[in-house]
Structure 1
Amino acid sequence: MTEKDYLAWLAVKQVVAFTLRHQGSFTYAEVRQYLRDPSLKLAGYKGRPMNFRPWNQQLRQPIILTSESALISMSPIEGFLHPTFHTDTLGYDEPESACRLTDNQGELL
């Protein structure tokens, strides 16, 4: 499975999870709100729950370092953890990043 395959599978899995919880019709806005909920815990099968950063919609996920035959490490590593979300330990955090996902009027999506 490539990165694109995994992310496509994860996206479809989350939309299906939402539809199974909501009987009847629903709107795009309801699906979007569900995916943006900070308490959302995506089961991405990487050992830790994942969700999306509210300020730029990036998927928070652990980084797995492997060799051909072994798991070497899974980041973030104990001792270097973010105080709120462990997977925000890697890369830039909200105060350090100018990246914001906004609509045409400049409002956060």
Structure 2
Amino acid sequence: GVLDRFSQIQPKLVFSVEAVIYNGKEHNHLEKLLSVVKGLPDLKKVVVIPYVFSRETIDISKIPNSVFLEDFLATGKGDQAPQLEFEQLPFSHPLFIMYSSGTTGAPKCMVHSAG
């Protein structure tokens, strides 16, 4: 699962929605997120993005080092959310990591570059 993949790269920051809607049903992801967070000892911050439920109804108090997206963005420039800025990076700069399905062993990560 997620932990099999993330434990290979030991992220410092994780973004996650609190729930999803699948097949017309709401599925809360906070318990799954908590188990992932507990399995990543180097994790510094968990940013929770309200997607299905309103922020006022979401309890993230059990998830260590967690904040809502709005609060995370506000830390950039006082009380105002910072403007995102484009930064030009080298052609070979890592852009994202994709994982194999893991059907013949542990999932393997593949780093894709910006170019």
Higher relative contact order (CA 8 A, sep 6+): 2
Specify the TM-score bucket, using the shorter chain as the normaliser: under 0.3
Determine which structure has the larger strand proportion and give its number. 2
More helix per residue? 1
- TM-score scaled by length of structure 1: 0.23
Structure 2 length-normalised TM:
0.22
